[in-house]
Amino acid sequence: MATRQTAGLARLMRAPAIILLLIWMIVPLGMTLYYSFLNYNLLNPANVSWAGWFNYQYFYTDPAFFAAIRNTLVLVLGVLTITVVLGIAIALLIDKPIWGQGIVRILIISPFFVMPPVAALIWKNMIMHPSYGVFADIARFLGLQPVDWFAQYPLTSIIIIVAWQWLPFATLILLTALQSLDGEQMEAAEMDGAGPVSRFIHLTLPHLARAITVVVLIQTIFLLGIYAEILVTTNGGPGNASTNLTYLIYRAARLNFDIGGAAAGGIIAVILANIVAIFLMRAVGKNLD
Minimal distance, residue 239 CB to other proteins, in Å: 19
Q: Contacting other proteins (CB under 8 A), which of 73, 74, 109, 194?
A: 109
In the region spanning residues 181 to 200, those forming contacts with other proteins, defined by CB under 8 A, are: 183, 186-187, 190
Which of these segments, 48-56, 57-65, 149-157, 248-256, binds other proteins (CB under 8 A)?
Answer: 248-256
Q: Determine if 127 is a binding residue for other proteins (CB under 8 A).
A: yes
Which residues have C-beta within 8 Å of that of residue 110, sequence separation ≥ 6? 168
| CA neighbours closer than 13 Å in the CB half-sphere of residue 216 | 16
Which of these segments, 55-63, 74-82, 191-199, 276-284, binds other proteins (CB under 8 A)?
Answer: 276-284
In the region spanning residues 71 to 90, those forming contacts with other proteins, defined by CB under 8 A, are: 90
Distance CA 97, CA 99 (A): 7
Q: Contacting other proteins (CB under 8 A), which of 79, 167, 170, 203?
A: 167
Q: Determine if 172 is a binding residue for other proteins (CB under 8 A).
A: yes
Q: Contacting other proteins (CB under 8 A), which of 48, 70, 74, 111?
A: 111
Distances (CA, A) of 199 to 56, 89, 132, 195, 213: 51, 15, 46, 6, 20
Count of residues interacting with other proteins (CB under 8 A): 112
Rg (CA), the chain: 24
In the region spanning residues 211 to 240, those forming contacts with other proteins, defined by CB under 8 A, are: 211, 214, 218, 221, 224-225, 227-228, 231-233
Which of these segments, 56-64, 147-155, 199-207, 273-281, binds other proteins (CB under 8 A)?
Answer: 273-281
In the region spanning residues 10 to 69, those forming contacts with other proteins, defined by CB under 8 A, are: 10-11, 13-14, 16-18, 20-21, 24-25, 27-29, 31-32, 35
Q: Contacting other proteins (CB under 8 A), which of 41, 73, 137, 200?
A: 137
Q: Contacting other proteins (CB under 8 A), which of 58, 73, 105, 194?
A: 105
Which of these segments, 47-55, 91-99, 150-158, 196-204, binds other proteins (CB under 8 A)?
Answer: 91-99
Minimal distance, residue 59 CB to other proteins, in Å: 14
Q: How far apart are the first and last CA of the chain?
A: 19
Q: Determine if 287 is a binding residue for other proteins (CB under 8 A).
A: yes
Q: Residue 165 in contact with residue 116, Cβ under 8 Å? A: yes
Q: Is the dihedral of CA 135, 136, 137, 143 positive or negative?
A: positive
Distance CA 269, CA 221 (A): 11
Q: Residue 286 in contact with residue 210, Cβ under 8 Å? A: no
Distances (CA, A) of 130 to 142, 219, 237: 15, 30, 17
Phi, psi of 258 (to 5 degrees): -90, 90
